[in-house]
């Protein structure tokens, strides 16, 4: 494992997947996640990895905003909302890839403050760190 020298593992998600995206099932070791997987655009019941990624990233990004708001003692006018879009792309030259857009709503603060919160959250969110430089990402204040 390649961890920073002074970091500690706070949580490890453990899942077991069989069948892949075509006809699979994903289950977490604690039983809280138990979903059927399906290919986007088909009639098969089930979610797909892109939806799971979008949901996970959105939740993490919102928590990052929450940490910054708490640290700076900013009062929001309601709940932060994030509408995530994750594209699965296929290119003749590069094969499969992802692109993503996060559309973030932060109520009750000036637009420049909200934009600053988004930019700071993008620097500390672990999903943002993992994707930085690896996929095209657009984060927009809505």
pLDDT score of 114: 98
Give the burial class of 30: count Cβ atoms within 10 A of its Cβ; 0-12 exposed, 13-18 middle, 19 or more buried: exposed
Q: What is the DSSP string of 38-106?
A: --TTSSS-SB-HHHHHHHHHHHHHHHHHHHHHHHHTPPPSS--EEEEEEEEEEETTTEEEEEEEEEEE-
Asked if residue 1 has pLDDT above 60, the reply is no
pLDDT score of 68: 98
Domains of the chain: 1-47 (2.20.25.10), 49-141 (3.30.300.20)
Torsion on CA atoms 131, 136, 141, 142, rounded to nearest 10: -120
- Token pair in block for residue 62: 């919102």
Per-residue pLDDT tens digits for 22-66 = 889 999 999 999 999 998 888 888 999 999 999 999 999 999 999
Asked if residue 122 has pLDDT above 60, the reply is yes
Instruction: Summarize the confidence of residues 100-109 as an average pLDDT.
Output: 97
- For residues 12 and 91, give the distance between their C-alpha atoms in angstroms, rounded to a whole number: 33
Indicate the pLDDT class of residue 12, thresholds 50, 70 and 90.
very high
Asked if residue 7 has pLDDT above 80, the reply is yes
Residues contacting 38, CB < 8 A, separation 6+ = 21, 22, 23, 44, 45, 46, 47, 48
Residue 1: helix, strand or coil by DSSP? coil
pLDDT score of 97: 94
């Amino acid at each position: 494992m390649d961890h920073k020298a002074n970091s500690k593992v706070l949580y490890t998600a453990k899942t077991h997947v069989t069948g892949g995206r075509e006809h699979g099932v994903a289950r977490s070791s604690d039983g809280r996640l138990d979903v059927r997987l399906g290919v986007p655009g088909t009639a098969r019941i089930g979610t797909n990895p892109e939806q799971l990624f979008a949901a996970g990233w959105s939740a993490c990004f919102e928590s990052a905003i929450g940490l910054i708001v708490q640290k700076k003692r900013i009062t929001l006018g309601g709940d932060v909302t994030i509408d995530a879009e994750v594209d699965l792309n296929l290119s003749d030259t590069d094969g499969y890839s992802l692109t993503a857009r996060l559309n973030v709503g932060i109520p009750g603060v000036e637009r420049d403050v909200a934009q600053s919160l988004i930019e700071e959250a993008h620097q500390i969110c672990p999903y943002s760190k993992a994707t930085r430089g690896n996929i095209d990402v657009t984060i927009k204040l809505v």
